[in-house]
Every structure is written in structure tokens, then in C-alpha cells.
Structure 1
């Protein structure tokens, strides 16, 4: 029997929560599977997103047990080259945060410096405020965020936009998640120059460049989505394309792959319309080496990597000529009847049995 004036004994209600059912409620597995389906590779990025999701999910479970609510910092930094999936991951994060109840709307708004900073006095604040209002309840991704800060330009108003972002990051952190994105090195300088901004970014995620094989897988997936397919030898040509393209500046990973896929589809249409009398199922879906090697990249690269078994003449070589690839045994190429190209160089590593297969 409880004595008078003694505080009541606190009764703890013990119950169990079905984790799998709760995951279904918050659509955790569904969102993570979408991320897996959307992105090739990027295992380190996916692991970080899973870790962040686990923290947020655990916070929800703790609340169901009556434990205190803890709101973790959600502002993020995505660093890496263009075309490595930063916008895709941001979109999936917005969806996850909405499902877990951290965001009310879950939309993704992507902007750059020009969307926030004006050229004249008094115009930056309204522009930035308008973007922030559109982003409330969702995720705001600022691409190439380091362009907001120009310390050597006294007439630049990027600092005004940064101050407004800092206020929102602190005062509206339950209504808006900011993601700053850009190349790794400039982003480091950007954060060192803005310590208040850096301290408010809880999660720094680096997006690595895709490997050669991952880029090929991305291309095959894009072709498949459009109901095309590369022939076996077309895949070899595509890999040679990657070897050349990756050496050039402004290579944008998956974004560049998407461009070459689109152009290959255009070339297939032009080839079939111009040289095929009867349409067949194969002619409508089969991407051949011909549809890839016509890229101007190969025309430039022929001086270094002649894409042909027969090689080229050191005395009379036209870099704009695309050579037809012959069978492996046919090494003696005859330019004109009775005349063999002399001093021809052979590149065995660039051989395809059938150029048009």
C-alpha cells in the first residue's frame, strides 16, 4: 500500500514494435530501392544515405516508445564531378524525408547562383526569398554553390544571399533542407571562407567518378529504356569512345553518356532511313559500331587511335577518313586495283570482325 505524500511510482508500458511493418509505413525500403534502381555503382554514396536513413528511422521509433524527440541536422554537402547522380540522390532524399515526416511537401528545387544573386542593389534579397519560399517543405539544392562567394569583387551580392541562407538554415531547419553541391576542391575553399555555413552542414557526401565498366552499364541501361540495344562489337567501339572522351575536359560522367546515347539513336534513324529498303525489327533496335564511330570525337582521335585493323599510311593519311574494318586475316588493303598502301601500321587492339554487325 502506497504511503501518503509519496510520489506515485512511474509505470512503464512495455510493448514491441514490428520494425518491418514500420518500414512499410514510412516506405523506407521502397525509397532505398528506387535509389538502387536509379543509380549504377556509387556504393559509398548509397551506404551514407542508408546510414542517414537509419538515424532518422531510429528517431521515429524512439518517439513511438515515448522517448524524447531528437531532430538531427539534415543540411548536406554533395561534392563531385558533374553527372555523378547528385540531383538524383537529392530527389530520393527529399522523398525519404517526406515519408518519415521531416518534410511536409518533399519537392526538390535545383538552383544556381543566377537564381539567387542579382546584379544590382536591392534585387538579391527578393530573388533569394522567392526561391526559399518555393522550396519550403522540401529540399533546395544549390549547384556550384562556391560561385555564391566572390571575395575579390566588392560589388558582388553573393554574400547577401549567403546571409539569408544561413538564417533559414538555423531558423527554418524543420521546414527546409539545403544541399550545397559542386566540385570537391572549390567546395572546400567555399566552406573555409564561410565557417558559419560549414558548421551548419551535418553531412558531407563525396560522389566518385564512374568507372569505365559502370559507364558502359549506364549506356546499356539508357539504350534499353529507349528499346534499343548495342551489338557486341558496338560495345567495343563504345569503350574506345570512353577512352577518348574521358581524356577531354568537361567530361560529365552519366550526362555525357546520355548525350552519346541520344546521338547514336539519331544516327541509327538516319542510317536506316537512307540505306534500308525494308524495315525489320532488328534494324529498328540494333545500335551498330557505325552509329558510334561517326562521332566527331573519333575523327579527332583517329590521329592518335586509328579505329581500324588496316591501319593508315604514314605518307598519305587523311585524318577525316573512317576506315571500314575488315576480317582479321585481310591485312593487305588495296586502295585501288593493283595498288597496296605501303607503310601501313596495324593496331591489333582495335579490331572488330564486322564493322556493321
Structure 2
């Protein structure tokens, strides 16, 4: 008897669900992917960032979820906006801020945030130095970020349990409230080193429970760093000659083995110094210059780095 009632109930539910499903064809996810502008944003991300295949894959997956969710909402299906708060972990210079910027654009294109802007902050922008100072600072930052994405770099510095008078916990409590109650109008991305973020979440279970997506950014390989350098130079209308290209490949191998290496950030800083040496070399020339000389870095512009001197000293 009970089985018959259960079967009947399931049949009614199935019939109701079938009746509620529209039969008219709808826009395909691929069509929406292109018409919404999301395809163009992801293509720009792919062009801007070398490598990072796992990161790009996760961003594509999140975009797919939002696209299908949008199609469901258009058909009147029960559709609750997914939690989109994220954590980006990895070493400096691995593209976390750039990905956050493009993520904000994706969310804007799909209507999940109103403005699609990115507000990037650190602890100093949120936490005050005296009683009554933190809450206004944190709320002001949140006000600026509403309708977009709030990116908090080195987020673990918000929590300093060794200091009983630290006001970081107050900022965390305000963030938690907004992340829960206004999650349809703001997406918070926490960023930092992986081990420190894990410790932070272990000490702040409320924050951990609000982060739906954890994305780890790997370090770049040496060939990827060399390609990044070439792309940076192309944007500035510079290039390596053959000798400089080989020298910079050696530079990358040596620099990666030194402390405080920051991936693409260190590459950019190295190129700035090489351009400075290039300019000095040309400035000291007494002969008329050829246009090619203005855009070409030579091996000497690379090997003058202290990285090579340190190697010889060792």
C-alpha cells in the first residue's frame, strides 16, 4: 500500500515537472556565450596571460555555470544566484589581479553585478589604527565596491591573533555580514599565499564557509616567463635580438633561484632596468642612430644585471 502511494506521488511529481518544462527551443549556451560578450572577455584573458591553463579552465567553468543559470532564469525555472565569493592563492606575479579584473567583466556581462568594476585593497584600506576607525573605513570600501568585485590582497593580514588590540577582526565581521546578506550585489575575492590562506580559513570558519571557489595560481615555467617578457616588450615596441634573448633565458633561470622572485612582476622589473641600460648605451653614442637601434635590446643590456655578477661571485 505504502509503495503504491509512493509510486503515485512520484508519478504526479514527474508529470508536474514535465508540464512545467517549456517545449519551445531556446538560445543555446554557445550563442549566449558569444552574444553576451563573455567570449570576448575570456579571449582577452587568454591573450593577456601566458599559461595558467588550470586557472583559465576554472574561470571558464564558472562562466558556464552562470550562462546556464541565466538560461534557466529566462525560462522561469527556480534559479537562485550561486555564491561567487572566491579565493585566489599563489605566489606574487601569477596574474591574480588580472584574472579578478576579467572575472568582474564576466559577471557584468551576465548581469550578476551592476557595474563590473574592481576595487583592489589591502589590510591598510580596511583596518583602522584606533577604536571606532575600522568600521567606517571598511564600510566605505564596501560602498565603493558595491555592484562589482572587491579584491583583498594578502587577506590573512586581516587576522592577527597575537595582538589583542588589533582591529582586523572587526573588519572581518563586517565583511562576513555583507558577503552573506548582499552577495547578489558584490563578489569578494580573497588572495594570498596558499599556506597562509589555509591558516586564515582555519581560524575564521565563518569566512571559509562563504568562499565557494578556491583557485590556485601556479608559478610560471621558464619558457612561459620568457614568452611573458616578449609580450611585454612587444606592447612597448621593443624586442630582444638573438643574443639578448639567450641572455634573458639565462637571467630567468638564475633569478628564479634567488629569494623574493615574483614571477611576471619580477620579469617586468627586470625589463625596466634593461630598458634603462639600453637608453644609457644609446645616449653615450656619438654616431647617428638607426630606428632599429631604438627598439632592440642587446645582450649587454641583459648581462649587466647583478644577477650575473652574483653568479660569478659564487
Partner-residue secondary structure (3-state), 2:151? strand
Partner-residue secondary structure (3-state), 1:53? helix
Is residue 2:242 matched to residue 1:232? yes
What is the match of residue 30 of structure 1? Answer: 40
What is the match of residue 205 of structure 2? Answer: 195
Q: State the alpha-carbon separation in 1 of the partners of residues 19 and 82 from structure 2.
A: 29
Larger RCO (alpha carbons 8 Å, 6+ apart) = 2
Structure with greater helix share of residues = 2
What is the match of residue 302 of structure 2? Answer: 292
Partner-residue secondary structure (3-state), 2:313? coil
Deviates more, 1:22-31 or 1:139-148: 22-31
Match of 1:15 among 11, 17, 24: 24
Shift in Å, 1:249: 1.5
Deviates more, 1:9-18 or 1:249-258: 9-18
Gaps of at least 5 residues in structure 2 are: 1-17
Q: State the alpha-carbon separation in 2 of the partners of residues 296 and 286 from structure 1.
A: 21
Q: State the alpha-carbon separation in 1 of the partners of residues 286 and 245 from structure 2.
A: 23
Q: Deviations over 1:14-47 (max 9, x none)?
A: 2212324322331121111011011000000000
- In the TM superposition, 1:204-283 aligns within 5 A as 204-283=214-293
Deviates more, 1:221-230 or 1:65-74: 65-74
What is the match of residue 327 of structure 1? Answer: none
Q: Deviations over 1:111-139 (max 9, x none)?
A: 00000011111100011010000000000
Gaps of at least 5 residues in structure 1 are: 1-8, 305-357
Q: State the alpha-carbon separation in 1 of the partners of residues 94 and 19 from structure 2.
A: 53
Partner-residue secondary structure (3-state), 2:77? coil
Is residue 2:148 matched to residue 1:138? yes
Shift in Å, 1:263: 1.3
Is residue 2:170 matched to residue 1:148? no
Shift in Å, 1:140: 0.3
Root-mean-square deviation over aligned CA pairs: 1.5
Match of 2:69 among 32, 35, 59: 59
Shift in Å, 1:12: 5.8
Partner-residue secondary structure (3-state), 1:249? coil
Shift in Å, 1:297: 2.1
Q: Given that residues 32 and 67 in structure 2 are in contact (C-alpha distance below 8 angstroms), is that contact kept between their aligned partners in structure 1?
A: no
Match of 1:115 among 101, 125, 128: 125
Q: State the alpha-carbon separation in 1 of the partners of residues 249 and 264 from structure 2.
A: 14
TM-score by length of 2: 0.92
Quickly say closer, same or farther: Cα 1:110–1:11, change in 2 above 3 A. closer
Shift in Å, 1:13: 4.2
Partner-residue secondary structure (3-state), 2:120? strand
TM-score by length of 1: 0.81
